[in-house]
Structure 1
Amino acid sequence: MKKKISIIGVPMDLGQRRRGVDMGPSAIRYANVVERLQSLDYEVNDIGDIEIGRPNRFDIIDEENLKDLKEVVKANQKLASAVSDIVAMDQFPLVLGGDHSIAIGTLAGVAEHHKNLGVIWFDAHGDLNTGDTSPSGNIHGMSLAVSLGIGHPYLTGINGFAPKIKPENVVIIGARALDPGEKELIKEKGIKVYTMHEIDRLGMTKVMEEAIAHVSNGTDGVHLSLDLDAIDPHDAPGVGTPVLGGTSYRETHLAMEMLAEAGIVTSAEFVEVNPILDDKNNTATVAVALMGSLFGEKLL
């Protein structure tokens, strides 16, 4: 891990329809993320939040089934530029969300500096929909597909190149709610997925050993995209699209600890914290604790 971390918040809630996730970065900061990382001897620079536009009405392009497309593109272009600048300064970009559509911008910025980027995608969902396959038109369910170069050209073309990542370099962990179009794309592209079935059968240790080996094979960096809804709602209630039967608090910590031991992660984002739906900021506190484990915090 690089010893200099730049934190950037993205108070985005336009990629979905449940208000409140725009307060996620503030909730994570309130849970003392800066202090937690500084206590681990990192130099932490919080550069503030990306400014997010607020449309007067929901901008639905009916023929494309993409909600608030223009605003989502604009915000992700800003984020991509900011993340690229952080990487250019040889610092670790840590992005705080915000809904998961922000991964489009994060990956666009990181991929400018990595030709063969590995991606670990912790999520209850695949985020592999397009306007054609999405039941909702919410772009937060399309961010991984967009990063693979699949989707509307306004989204895939952010930063002027596509795709940002390759399917053979991606591992999805914790999936348990996949739409029919996502299942087809996973099979078509050969994307490696560890559903909760595999985690239950193999155990998190084996899953992470295999995932780490997969995303390290021939890559020149690894991005972690962690949606808090990967975790069971009992441990992380403050998310917009909770799905029962997720990874436990300890299983997710183990995953982060193993990533820290492997030393492969070069950028990360933690998304979908919604304090309006939370209980006493518990989900943001969980997110910060997981960041601690990712950056090398140990019990002894």
Structure 2
Amino acid sequence: MLLNTRSSGSEMPPPIQIVAYACGIGGQFAGSRDGPAAFRNHIEQFADLRKRVGWHSWIEDGRAFSELGSQQVLESIITLSRQLAQASFDIITEGGFPVLIGGDHSAAAGYWSGICAALAPEGDVGLIWIDAHMDSHTPQTSPNGYVHGMPLAALLGYGHQGLTTLLSERPKLKPAHVCLIGTRDYEPEEKTLLQSLGVRIFFMDEIHYRGLPAVFEDALRLVRQASGGYGVTIDLDGLNPEDAPGVSTPAANGLAKAELLTAMQGVYNDPRLVGMEISEFNPANDIDNRTLALMHALLAGLQGKRDGRT
């Protein structure tokens, strides 16, 4: 279901436009479908932040993977992905800045496809993928059929045609402009695909050895080579479970919240930043609103730099 939440009035909308993906059918645990509503209820308590962001589209599916089966899930997510792609495309072409709040990470295929299509006249788009997982399976390599494990492969042109051809027949991302940060939980098939394409992967071992600031500097240098700008996707399970417990698939030994927020300070005011995604929030697993606080900090940092459409 797609609900457009934009006002029909003549007042200029806020530059930051949120696309909500209230869906959890891409994985085993459906709780992430409640993430956008919990986050919206949270920011409603903060007038300054509430006034500076708009809710552009609400894309939802309230079912669970177990109710559907893998083939029906894939078909449903392709439909949702078309809606996501159109929403982010529209925001870019209308001069706004799209932010995705998920929901499971299957949303990334549609959301970034729309951004890449809208910016195609400017050139290629780069992407920093912060995640414990690689999300680079295809239906042929996936051990379980979970589509939240497939979006990066789809953006690179590998997977079901319904996901690889959203708004454009060509792959949305070039491997040379993509990097992963915080990777530590993956299957061999995913690693084989990404390494064969030459995608840069910053595993956690490298981050522990070199430090996140140095890794982030390298990542930014890489994605800034894309002439159309770059985006950042943050799967919350990329962080330490102690800092972000509100996820469905936690993985130990992740990024520290404080270090990530510091690293993002060098991103917010970059005019080449074209989009940001925060996915896999499962409010049922949050503890003391730690994950909500992290999401709040990420959005607040972004809106502080985007006021006035800078």
Q: Does 1:113 pair with 2:118?
A: yes
Aligned-partner Cα distance in 2 for 1:137–1:37: 42
Higher mean C-alpha displacement, 161-170 vs 25-34: 25-34
Q: Select the residue among 134, 145, 148 that pairs with 1:137.
A: 145
| Match in the other structure for 1:44 | 53
Q: TM-score if structure 1 supplies the norm length?
A: 0.90
| Contact 1:169–1:219 (Cα < 8 Å) also in 2 | no
| Contact 2:21–2:101 (Cα < 8 Å) also in 1 | yes
| Match in the other structure for 2:67 | 57
Aligned-partner Cα distance in 1 for 2:273–2:297: 17
The size of the alignment, in residue pairs, is: 289
| Match in the other structure for 1:164 | 172
Q: 1:146-295 counterparts in 2 under 5 A?
A: 146-295=154-303
Q: TM-score if structure 2 supplies the norm length?
A: 0.87
Percentage of identical aligned residues: 35
Q: Using a 3 Å threshold, how does the CA distance of structure 1 residues 154 and 263 change in structure 2: closer, same or farther?
A: same
| Contact 1:37–1:295 (Cα < 8 Å) also in 2 | no
Q: Cα deviation per residue 1:121-173 (whole Å; 9 max; x = unaligned)?
A: 01000111111222221010110000111001121122242311111110111
SS at 1:177 equivalent:
coil
Q: Using a 3 Å threshold, how does the CA distance of structure 1 residues 173 and 37 change in structure 2: closer, same or farther?
A: farther
| Contact 2:53–2:303 (Cα < 8 Å) also in 1 | no
SS at 2:173 equivalent:
coil
Q: Flag the structure with more relative contact order, 1 or 2, with Cα contacts below 8 A and sequence separation at least 6.
A: 1
Structure 1 runs of 4+ off > 6 angstroms? none
SS at 1:112 equivalent:
helix
CA apart distance, 1:296: 4.5
Unaligned runs of 5+ in 2: 1-13, 306-310
Q: Cα deviation per residue 1:54-103 (whole Å; 9 max; x = unaligned)?
A: 48931323xxxxx6111101111111111111111010001110000000
| Contact 2:16–2:303 (Cα < 8 Å) also in 1 | no
| Match in the other structure for 1:64 | none
Q: Using a 3 Å threshold, how does the CA distance of structure 1 residues 174 and 189 change in structure 2: closer, same or farther?
A: same
| Contact 1:11–1:49 (Cα < 8 Å) also in 2 | yes
Q: Select the residue among 80, 83, 90 that pairs with 1:85.
A: 90
Q: Using a 3 Å threshold, how does the CA distance of structure 1 residues 174 and 112 change in structure 2: closer, same or farther?
A: same
| Match in the other structure for 1:102 | 107
Q: Cα deviation per residue 1:170-219 (whole Å; 9 max; x = unaligned)?
A: 01111011210011112200001111111111111111111111100142
Q: Using a 3 Å threshold, how does the CA distance of structure 1 residues 267 and 32 change in structure 2: closer, same or farther?
A: same
Q: Using a 3 Å threshold, how does the CA distance of structure 1 residues 262 and 208 change in structure 2: closer, same or farther?
A: farther
Aligned-partner Cα distance in 2 for 1:194–1:32: 32
| Match in the other structure for 2:10 | none
Root mean square deviation of aligned Cα? 2.2
SS at 2:82 equivalent:
helix
| Match in the other structure for 2:6 | none
Higher mean C-alpha displacement, 173-182 vs 43-52: 43-52
